């Protein structure tokens, strides 16, 4: 099967009646278009276009060829584009995440990723509040903690451990603070376990 450009060039030369007009329209030079059409005619073993000094017109075989090719071109181009779109990441990808995670974990890795996918544009939404994924048009949300809505599609990508650290002079004050908070949390009725 001939490539789409060859078939498109043939139809445009026939419809415009000119190699140079078709070349301009397709962003090529006339000699390229002439060579492509000559190769097409040679592979088919028939002359598709009759050339005069003033005009290019389809031959009888050319008219039959064009009648079959022209209607098929849009479908062929659609098929090619649909395959290309699934094979290459392209467009805008909006990723929402906490600011610290974005700056420390994601941003250092973005350069290598964007080099692999140059047609993909990434917009980072660094916010420590949970974005509304639909309202804010967020494609991917990276979250820390438990999901409040179990109906969302989620995948665990890692775990983080939190630790409380303090310098030696402030250790006793920090321990007293942690003990106070732990006691208050244990006594908070809004945090009491519910029975189901």
Total domains in the chain come to 2
Q: Does 122 lie in the same domain as 57?
A: no
pLDDT in tens, 49-82: 998 888 899 999 999 999 999 888 888 877 776 6
Specify if 180 maps to a domain. Answer: no
Specify if 165 maps to a domain. Answer: no
Q: Does 129 lie in the same domain as 79?
A: no
Mean pLDDT of 113-136: 83
Q: Name the more confident of 81 and 92.
A: 92
Q: What is the CATH number of the domain that holds 100?
A: 3.40.190.10
Tokens of 170: 């402030």
Q: Does 128 lie in the same domain as 70?
A: no
CA 95 to the chain's CA centroid: 13
Cα separations in angstroms, 41 against 10, 89, 192: 10, 37, 83
Distant-in-sequence, close-in-space partners of 90: CB < 8 Å, separation ≥ 6: 117, 119, 120
Q: Does 74 lie in the same domain as 95?
A: no
Residue 64 structural domain: 4-87
Percent of the chain with pLDDT strictly greater than 70: 88
Q: What is the CATH number of the domain that holds 65?
A: 1.10.10.10
Specify if 77 maps to a domain. Answer: yes
Question: pLDDT at position 50, please?
Answer: 93
Burial 117-144 (b: 16+ CB within 10 A, else e): eeeeeeebbeeeebbeeeeeebeebbbe
Specify if 71 maps to a domain. Answer: yes
Choose one of 87, 107, 138: the last residue of a domain: 87
Q: Name the more confident of 50 and 88.
A: 50
Q: Does 77 lie in the same domain as 33?
A: yes
Specify if 173 maps to a domain. Answer: no
Q: Does 81 lie in the same domain as 33?
A: yes
Give the sign of the dihedral formed by CA 92, CA 94, CA 100, CA 104.
Answer: negative
Q: Does 156 lie in the same domain as 103?
A: yes
pLDDT in tens, 159-186: 777 776 777 777 777 778 888 888 887 8
């Amino acid at each position: 099967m001939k490539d789409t450009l060859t078939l498109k060039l043939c139809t445009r030369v026939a419809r415009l009646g000119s190699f140079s007009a078709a070349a301009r329209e397709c962003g090529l030079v006339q000699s390229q278009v002439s060579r492509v059409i000559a190769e097409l005619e040679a592979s088919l073993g028939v002359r598709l276009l009759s050339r005069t000094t003033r005009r290019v017109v389809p031959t009888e075989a050319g008219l039959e060829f064009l009648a079959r090719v022209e209607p098929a071109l849009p479908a062929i181009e659609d098929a090619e584009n649909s395959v290309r779109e699934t094979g290459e990441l392209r467009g805008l990808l909006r990723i929402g995440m906490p600011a610290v995670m974005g700056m420390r974990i994601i941003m250092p890795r973005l350069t290598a990723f964007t080099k692999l996918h140059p047609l993909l544009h990434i917009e980072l939404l660094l916010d420590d509040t949970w974005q509304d994924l639909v309202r804010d048009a967020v494609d991917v949300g990276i979250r820390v903690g438990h999901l409040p809505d179990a109906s969302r599609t989620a995948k665990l990508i890692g775990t983080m451990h939190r630790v409380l650290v303090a310098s030696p002079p402030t250790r006793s004050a920090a321990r007293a603070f942690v003990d106070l908070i732990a006691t208050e949390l244990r006594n908070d009725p809004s945090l009491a376990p519910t029975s189901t």
